[in-house]
A and B are shown apart, each in its own frame.
Chain A
Amino acid sequence: GNSVTQMEGPVTLSEEAFLTINCTYTATGYPSLFWYVQYPGEGLQLLLKATKADDKGSNKGFEATYRKETTSFHLEKGSVQVSDSAVYFCALSASGGSYIPTFGRGTSLIVHP
């Protein structure tokens, strides 16, 4: 079956540091890949997505590139802010058939001033 593995948290950084959150996946075919963000007390919201190999999703300074050869979709940001403190979820949605996404466990990011 499909699966998503992301790095355990929490990840603790100082403001303006570089962020990487690793995400690898297992799936048949050509899934779409997503990063969702959950701010405290809120539901998840889409941060970025990529639907085919070598696509780069980007939003709010965050980027992730769909790497089929390494089955990865790592999230990066060059300079984090305190307001980026949240839980980040990597997810995949298989091509065709089921509309049920597979989520990773989530990675908590804490950014200190």
Chain B
Amino acid sequence: DAEITQSPRHKITETGRQVTLACHQTWNHNNMFWYRQDLGHGLRLIHYSYGVHDTNKGEVSDGYSVSRSNTEDLPLTLESAASSQTSVYFCASSEAGTGGNEQFFGPGTRLTVL
């Protein structure tokens, strides 16, 4: 069965370190997204991609970067981790086509920045 996976599931790091969160999907979807989920803020979009070599900033992109070298993967990098980036991160994917397509979410990565 097709799926979307994230690793690691839990990560503790220190302020200033670079961190990369992995996202891998086997749906063969063109669209991939990264969100963060925080109490009181719901889901906020960090970056998204509509295909290989395409990346775009979302509403909370400062301090984060992504790259898309193939269809299956969209890793999220925190260049210099800050305590404000402690959060739960979700990767999602969807088919290209009409806007009526659902998003498929990964299980999430809980990141703690000390």
Say whether A associates with B.
yes
Residues of A within 8 A of B (CB): 31-32, 34, 36, 41-46, 49, 51, 89, 93-101, 103-106
Distance, CA A113 to CA B94, complexed state (A): 37
Interface size on B, residues (CB 8 A): 24
Q: How far is the CB of B79 from chain A (nearest CB, A)?
A: 23
For B43, list chain A residues within 8 Å (CB).
44, 89, 103, 106
Residues of A within 8 A of B45 (CB): 100
Residues of A within 8 A of B92 (CB): 43-44
Q: How many A-B residue pairs have CB under 8 A?
A: 61
**In contact, A43 and B99 (Cβ under 8 angstroms):** no
User: Chain B residues near A31 (CB, 8 Å)?
Assistant: 99
As a 0/1 sequence over residues 78 to 105 of chain B, the CB contacts with chain A under 8 angstroms (1 = contact) are 0000000000001010101011111111
Q: Which residue of B lies closest to A101 (CB)?
A: B103
CB distance from A40 to the nearest CB of B (A): 11
**Which 5 pairs of residues, A with B, have the shortest CB-CB distance?**
A43-B105, A32-B100, A105-B42, A93-B99, A46-B102
| B90, A44: Cβ atoms closer than 8 Å | yes
Minimum C-beta distance from B38 to chain A (A): 11
List chain B residues, Cβ under 8 A from A43.
Answer: 90, 92, 105-108
Asked if A96 and B42 make an inter-chain contact with CB atoms under 8 angstroms apart, the answer reads no
CA distance A101 to B50 in the complex (A): 14
Q: List 15 A-B contacts (CB under 8 A).
A: A31-B99, A32-B100, A43-B107, A44-B43, A44-B90, A44-B105, A49-B102, A93-B99, A94-B99, A96-B99, A100-B33, A100-B45, A100-B58, A103-B42, A105-B42
Interface check B71, CB cutoff 8 A: no
Interface: B31 (CB within 8 A): yes
Kindly provide the distance from the CB of B54 to the nearest chain A CB, expressed in whole angstroms: 12
